[in-house]
Amino acid sequence: MEYSLKSFEEYFAQSEVIRMNHYHVDGRLKHVMLSHQFSIQLLEELFDIADRVKEMTRKTNGIEFLKSLLGHKKAMLYFTQPSTRTFLSFLTACQMVGMDTGEVRDPSLSSEYKGESQEDGVRVFSSYFDIIIMRDPKPGFCEYMAYLLDNTGRSVPILNGGSGKDQHPTQALLDLYTIHRSFQQKDGIRKKRYAFVGDLLRGRAVRSSVMLLSQYKDIEMDFVAPSSFQIAEDLEKILHNQGVKINKTDKLESVLSKVDCIYMTRIQDEYDLTGESNNIDYSQFSLTTENVKKMKPSSIILHPLPRRNEISPNVDADPRAMYWRQLRNGVYIRAALLLYVFNVAHRLDEY
């Protein structure tokens, strides 16, 4: 009658492919952990749901219909790592589909001071809520909890809301959804040239989105970064294997006029060990109204936000600036994901 549960280390000693298999049930995605869980087919299914959600939110009765879809479900927002924008995006996505929510945001308020293990703590949430949306600073914690809950009495879906330095799958979803919508009349996501600018080594949004993009055909990518913050070697290797054409440079000017999409990021100096960000001339990795003029008229500018100075607020009015729209798309695609995970998206036809 005893469990033979794997320890954290044993769990991650398994290959990613084996782990990813656990996150599907009956051929459907249950736990949303890694951006590369999303195939092109699944992405397009989600984009379609998100389009319909977005359309419905334009009318009062559409909003009310959406709220009727998951009124019987409750979500726990477990954000022990500070976050305002992702937290509120998930919160409003939950509200959009009618879910009640509870939250834990400040670990010091929790009962962990009483010596409870974090695993027990999360299991408590799974007893009260139907899904757990989780951002935790400990890399892999979210995946390990999904495994533990699946192997105890009460398993609920877990959505990774951003973990450690590496994964932020719903950010990747909203990035691709925004690209999809922007290029809808222009052959879609494929056959495009994408530039990623800034801190490409430590930005988890970039990593997740690059992985997703690499599935599409005829993609070319420019990585514009100070040499110390260029993309990780393992990621580069993966892209090579996928047949993605890659260029690395530290000259933003050299790519401006050539790309279809510029994805800007900020320098993630909260991950500095010895102040290594101080040596960077940020202005070389920033967009002003001046250099935006060199971009193609049909190109787009993305940014996962929050921004510092890497995009001048004066650029906001440019029709190619998509980052505020990208932010709102995050709510639609997250609402779509909730409808998918609870398998009620088909009910949208009833509207």
Q: By CB under 8 A, name the binding residues for its own copies.
A: 1-3, 5, 60, 63-64, 67, 71-72, 74, 76, 82-85, 88-89, 91-92, 95, 100, 102, 104-106, 108-117, 119-121, 123-125, 127-129, 152-154, 266, 270, 289, 305-308, 313-314, 316-319, 324, 327-328, 331
Contacts of 126 (CB under 8 A, 6+ apart): 132, 149, 154, 155, 156
Evaluate whether 23 touches 37 at the Cβ level (below 8 Å): yes
- The residue assigned the tokens 């408590």 is 124
Catalytic residue among 72, 85, 190, 294: 85
Residue closer to its own copies, measured from CB, 4 or 274? 4
Known active-site residue 72 = no
Residue closer to its own copies, measured from CB, 39 or 111? 111
Known active-site residue 135 = yes
Name the helix (H) or strand (E) containing 77.
strand 74-79
243, 283, 265: which is closest to 196 by C-alpha?
Answer: 265
Catalytic residue among 58, 114, 274, 346: 114
Known active-site residue 168 = yes
Residue closer to its own copies, measured from CB, 109 or 273? 109
Catalytic residue among 86, 170, 178, 265: 86
CB of 142 to its own copies, least distance (A): 18
* Cis-peptide, bond into residue 304, ω within 30° of zero: no
Residue closer to its own copies, measured from CB, 38 or 285? 285
Q: Of all residues in the chain, what percent are helix, strand and coil, respectively (each to 5)?
A: 50, 15, 35
CB of 114 to its own copies, least distance (A): 5
12, 20, 16: which is closest to 138 by C-alpha?
Answer: 12
Distances (CA, A) of 134 to 72, 156, 204, 247, 305: 20, 12, 15, 35, 19
Residue closer to its own copies, measured from CB, 95 or 247? 95
Known active-site residue 320 = no
Known active-site residue 31 = no
CB of 287 to its own copies, least distance (A): 13
Neighbours of 280 (CB within 10 A): 18
CB of 220 to its own copies, least distance (A): 28
Give me the active site residues, please: 85-86, 114, 135, 168
